């Protein structure tokens, strides 16, 4: 009888994928965006994250097609009310905030006070969902960028986008195609961000 190897298979493709993920500026993301089936895949992956207590402390809002500009009208209107001296170009830029990429998915944090589950853990779960969404887009061959920007923190904009009073934006994930591979940026050396409990600083830097 043949014995099975005790070693787990190394998913080299998955590791390569994670090592090559890179954010692309929304203005550099072009159409076509993900199909309806691919959007379902993105959202399915994004919802498979650690969730203490199975609270589902997040939800998603999909902006595509004309809906991107409709949301942009709300953003521009609030911007103009706050900045009556704004130029036409500045207002147009705000109107186009969610139309720079063919698809934008907002991850909404629904974290709140719970008898057993700390609110901080619920917030981190929303962050995990946002990260998974970005990685899933990369796995499907698209590029993505996780942004907030000023309107993610403006209560008037959140109300206009349909968020409940206790809800907040974890991020707007802009998704599209990139014509050229991104340049990587410097990453912190592991020696600067990793320590091993019980070892002295001298031991960690050897």
Q: What is the pLDDT of residues 144-167, one digit of tens each?
A: 999 999 999 999 999 999 999 999
Phi-psi region of 162 (alpha: psi -120 to 50; beta: other; left: phi over 0): left
Q: Look up residue 105 and give its two tokens.
A: 């998915």
**For range 165-171, the mean pLDDT:** 97
**For range 25-36, the mean pLDDT:** 96
- The domain locations on the chain are 28-61+100-179
Q: Look up residue 22 and give its two tokens.
A: 């890179």
**Radius of gyration of the chain, Cα coordinates, nearest whole angstrom:** 20
What mean pLDDT value characterizes the chain? 92
CATH topology of domain 28-61+100-179: NADH Oxidase (3.40.109)
Kindly report which listed range (2-11, 31-40, 53-62, 85-94) carries the lowest average pLDDT score: 2-11
Q: Specify the pTM.
A: 0.90
**For range 170-183, the mean pLDDT:** 91
Predicted confidence (pLDDT) per residue in 14-29, tens digit = 888 888 899 999 999 9
Q: What is the pLDDT of residue 203?
A: 63
Q: Contact 68/99 with Cβ under 8 angstroms?
A: yes
């Amino acid at each position: 009888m043949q014995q099975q190897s005790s070693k787990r298979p190394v998913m080299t493709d998955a590791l390569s994928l994670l090592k090559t993920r890179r954010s692309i500026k929304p203005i550099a993301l072009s159409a076509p965006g993900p199909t309806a089936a691919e959007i379902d895949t993105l959202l399915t992956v994004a919802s498979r994250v650690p969730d203490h207590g199975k609270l589902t402390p997040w939800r998603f809002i999909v902006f595509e097609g004309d809906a991107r500009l409709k949301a942009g009208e709300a953003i521009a209107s609030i911007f103009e009310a706050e900045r009556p001296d704004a130029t036409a170009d500045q207002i147009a830029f705000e109107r186009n905030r969610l139309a720079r990429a063919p698809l934008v998915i907002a991850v909404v944090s629904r974290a709140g006070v719970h008898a057993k589950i700390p609110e901080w853990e619920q917030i981190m779960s929303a962050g995990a969902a946002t990260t998974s969404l970005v990685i899933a887009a990369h796995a499907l061959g698209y590029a993505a960028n996780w942004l907030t920007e000023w309107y993610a923190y403006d209560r008037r904009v959140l109300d206009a986008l349909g968020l409940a009073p206790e809800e907040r934006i974890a991020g707007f994930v802009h998704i599209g195609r990139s014509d050229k591979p991104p340049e990587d940026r410097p990453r912190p050396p592991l020696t600067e961000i990793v320590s091993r409990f019980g070892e002295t600083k001298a031991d960690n830097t050897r």
